[in-house]
Chain A
Amino acid sequence: MKLEDLRRIREKAEREMKLREGKARIKIIVGMGTSGIAAGAREVLKVFLEEVEKRNLKDVIVTQTGEKGLASHEPVVEIHEEDKPIIVYGNVTPELVRRIVAEHIVNSNPVSDYVIEVRE
């Protein structure tokens, strides 16, 4: 497996991006402060990335922040979507990540049982 193989991916992706203007629809932010990491945020982040790959979600960006979230609810995840309030999930597990992606990201239906905050 060679790093140069990325060139092939690039050519294909660039053709597609021209068609869509490459704009992200949704940004997923995982809290990666010390307490978040200790509570399992790395696995949460990894499963989000895997879901983006598996479902081929080209308009979703997964990123992280070191800012302290709500320590008693770590791991904490924020979903930012254009023209919509920010939805914050708490006590996120890999299993919940799969539900968030399937229900919220793909079908615009937040998993309300785990929403700990809604910010305008």
Chain B
Amino acid sequence: MMEELSLHILDLVQNSVSAGAKNIHIIIEEDSKKDVLSIEVIDDGKGMDKETLEKAQSPFFSSKLDRRVGLGIPLLKQSAIHCDGEFRMESVPGEGTRIKAIFRSSHIDLPPMGNLENTFFTIITTIPHVNFYIKYNKDGKIFEIDTLKIKELLGGVPLTHPEVLGFLKKYIHENLKKMMEVKHEA
């Protein structure tokens, strides 16, 4: 159903937006030496009580009882645990929610990251009322984007202005590509 981790990120972000978040942090960390990949989404949305938190993680309740959280969370949890990882979901009503999915990166069933570029590009441009801070750390190489900074630079010009779109698409593409380049030691 959702084969890419980058689609799961999109889904988690959507939950945060539905919860009224104004600030969302997305932290992705890959550590080859430790054989770990983790995805973390932190928001300042309305949060959940204990009962709702449990239901959100269960495939049997989430979509029916709490319409704002879909099946994406139970699927991600299942996938993380299956890949010798773990899944943590914490929430404080009125303060926000923090979700972290951890995978063993060499696990044979680890879902591919997929098109992270498209996930970042669509998120930051089409949800303009939310501030996004995105950090992707791959073995010490870092990709970072902060939409608060972008909005400051733009003043009143919308993120969906054609030229801004063109710029951001290229910016994300180039910086992610630069980060992914493997440097061979001489």
A residues near B (Cβ < 8 Å) are 1, 3-7, 9-10, 12-14, 17, 22, 30, 32-35, 37-38, 42-43, 45-46, 49-50, 52-58, 60-64, 66, 68
How far apart are A95's CB and chain B's nearest CB, in angstroms?
Answer: 17
B residues near A (Cβ < 8 Å) are 1-2, 7, 10-11, 14-15, 17-18, 63, 67-68, 70-72, 115, 118-119, 121-122, 125-128, 149-150, 153-158, 160-167, 169-171, 174-175
Nearest opposing residue in chain A for B168, CB measure: A6
Distance in angstroms between the alpha carbons of A37 and B153 in the assembled complex: 31
How far apart are B16's CB and chain A's nearest CB, in angstroms?
Answer: 9
Distance in angstroms between the alpha carbons of A39 and B126 in the assembled complex: 19
Collect the chain B residues with CB atoms within 8 Å of residue A42's CB: 7, 10, 115, 118-119, 122
How far apart are A16's CB and chain B's nearest CB, in angstroms?
Answer: 9
Distance in angstroms between the alpha carbons of A10 and B153 in the assembled complex: 8
Collect the chain A residues with CB atoms within 8 Å of residue B125's CB: 49, 62
CB atoms of A64 and B2 under 8 A apart:
no
Q: List 18 A-B contacts (CB under 8 A).
A: A1-B171, A1-B174, A6-B153, A9-B167, A13-B164, A33-B70, A34-B2, A34-B71, A35-B70, A49-B125, A50-B169, A52-B160, A52-B165, A58-B161, A62-B126, A64-B127, A66-B17, A66-B68
